[in-house]
């Protein structure tokens, strides 16, 4: 009987020992970080500390905001919306037929007046409205591997419906490249032609890391439905700067993209003759097209958003500081 009891007790002791070993092995090593015992600063939000902080933020933010607004106001812009004014009068009620008819001349000449002196470089932008480049199917319709390497020209799985043409891959494939903007602009001041510089309008990282130097356009815009501009098959994608700028998709339906630069000063009240080729179809979706000439300030282009944001936050902090001061005076602790 004794050996039987001893045999019965043996496995139980072994299980208890293994359980204890398991608990010791799973027990984390003690450290103040794992036990949340590190020293911490827990400020007490008393009126004598909150009010000075709010005053400081308000006093600092308001001048910064006014400076940003002043910098934005020094930027000079010439803005001209032309998608309707460049349509012939007899086609004004049938704009889609006008833009899809290749036999109709799309040349449009307009005269713009410079409101203030514009120092070089003067940046030329085209602005599109109601164009959703951030649409899920549109933004994923591209092949970065194909753009980067000549060995990946057949990598078109993500480019549908613009992936192949008669069984051969389209380079560059996808809806983004297919819808390349193709309106053109030329400028003159009296009898002087203003040269538009279209080199150096992209990011160096795009040219060196995203678009290959040995990748050339192939079967591009050879289908029955033409989406936008064409590409020179003799020039590698890394030098197709219009394409690279276009394929940097925008986050909002209203966006501007850089077209080129004018390296000449323009003076106030000068008249600039602009010759536009109104080729791009925005009429199918009710979009708008705008030509923008702009200088650049210390903060870039013309935008009051940052300055107004600083001013609003600064005024809100000052108002809260005054409110807390009045409450402390009326209801002292």
For the chain, strand residue ranges (E) read 77-81, 107-113, 122-129, 164-165, 168-169, 184-189, 192-194, 196-197, 255-262, 271-277, 288-294
Q: Is the pLDDT of residue 3 over 70?
A: no
Position 330 pLDDT exceeds 90: no
Look at residue 1 in the predicted model and tell me its pLDDT. 45
Q: How far apart are CA 181 and CA 84, in angstroms?
A: 17
Q: Does residue 55 have a pLDDT over 90?
A: yes
Cβ atoms of 117 and 265 within 8 Å: the answer is yes
- Across-strand partners of 124? 260, 293
Please give the share of the chain, as a percent, with pLDDT higher than 70: 92
Dump pLDDT digits (tens) for 304-324: 899 999 999 999 999 999 999
What pLDDT is recorded for position 8? 47
The two structure tokens encoding residue 29: 């090593």
pLDDT in tens, 94-141: 889 889 888 888 999 999 999 999 998 999 999 999 999 999 999 999
Q: Name residues whose C-beta falls within 8 Å of residue 156's C-beta, 6 or more positions apart in sequence.
A: 143, 146, 163, 164, 169, 170, 173
Instruction: Please report the pLDDT score of residue 203 as a whole number.
Output: 86
Per-residue pLDDT tens for 261-287?
999 999 999 999 999 999 999 999 999
Answer yes or no: are the C-beta atoms of 235 and 185 closer than 8 Å: no
Token pair listed for 290: 């705008």
User: Is the Cβ–Cβ distance between 256 and 77 less than 8 Å?
Assistant: no
Position of tokens 């008819």?
A: 101
Domain ranges of the chain: 48-75+301-332, 77-296
Confidence label for 21 from pLDDT (cuts 50, 70 and 90): low
Residue 15 pLDDT greater than 80, yes or no: no
Among 67-76, 91-100, 151-160, the range with the most confident prediction by mean pLDDT is: 67-76
pLDDT tens per residue across span 173-227 = 989 999 999 999 999 998 899 999 998 888 888 888 889 888 899 888 887 778 8
Query: In the sheet that 184-189 helps form, which strands lie side by side, from edge to edge?
Result: 107-113, 271-277, 184-189, 192-194
CA distance 170 to 168: 7
- If one compares 55 and 22, the residue with the highest pLDDT of the two is 55
In this predicted model, which residue has the larger pLDDT, 185 or 90? 185
Compute the distance between CA of residue 207 and CA of residue 97 in angstroms, rounded to an integer: 37
Calpha distance 301→5 (Å, rounded): 90
Residue 20 has what pLDDT? 55
DSSP code of 28? P
Going by pLDDT thresholds of 50, 70 and 90, the confidence category of residue 13 is: low
């Amino acid at each position: 009987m004794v050996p039987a009891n001893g045999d019965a007790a043996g496995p139980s002791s072994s299980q208890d020992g293994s359980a204890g070993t398991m608990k010791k092995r799973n027990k984390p090593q003690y450290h103040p970080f794992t036990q949340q015992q590190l020293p911490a600063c827990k400020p007490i939000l008393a009126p004598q500390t909150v009010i000075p902080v709010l005053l400081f933020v308000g006093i600092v933010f308001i001048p910064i905001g006014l400076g940003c607004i002043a910098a934005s106001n020094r930027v000079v812009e010439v803005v001209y919306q032309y998608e309707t004014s460049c349509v012939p009068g007899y086609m004004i009620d049938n704009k889609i037929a006008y833009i899809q008819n290749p036999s109709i001349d799309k040349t449009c000449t307009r005269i713009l007046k410079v409101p203030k002196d514009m120092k070089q470089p003067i940046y030329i932008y085209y602005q599109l409205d109601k164009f959703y480049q951030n649409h899920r199917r549109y933004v994923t319709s591209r092949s970065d591997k194909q753009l980067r390497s000549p060995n990946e020209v057949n990598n078109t799985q993500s480019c549908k419906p613009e992936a192949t043409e008669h069984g051969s891959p389209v380079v560059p494939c996808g809806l983004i490249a297919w819808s390349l903007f193709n309106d053109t602009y030329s400028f003159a001041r009296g009898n002087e032609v203003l040269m538009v510089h279209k080199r150096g309008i992209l990011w160096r990282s795009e040219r060196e890391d995203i678009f290959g130097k040995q990748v050339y356009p192939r079967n591009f815009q050879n289908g029955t439905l033409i989406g936008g501009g064409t590409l020179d098959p003799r020039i590698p994608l890394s030098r197709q700067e219009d394409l690279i700028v276009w394929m940097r998709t925008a986050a909002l339906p209203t966006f501007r993209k850089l077209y080129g630069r004018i390296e000449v000063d323009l003076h106030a009240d000068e008249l600039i003759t602009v010759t536009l080729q109104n080729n791009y179809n925005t009429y199918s979706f009710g979009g708008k097209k705008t030509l923008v000439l702009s200088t650049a300030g210390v903060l870039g282009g013309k935008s009051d958003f940052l300055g107004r944001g600083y001013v609003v936050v600064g005024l809100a902090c000052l108002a809260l500081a005054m409110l807390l001061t009045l409450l402390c005076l009326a209801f002292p602790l």
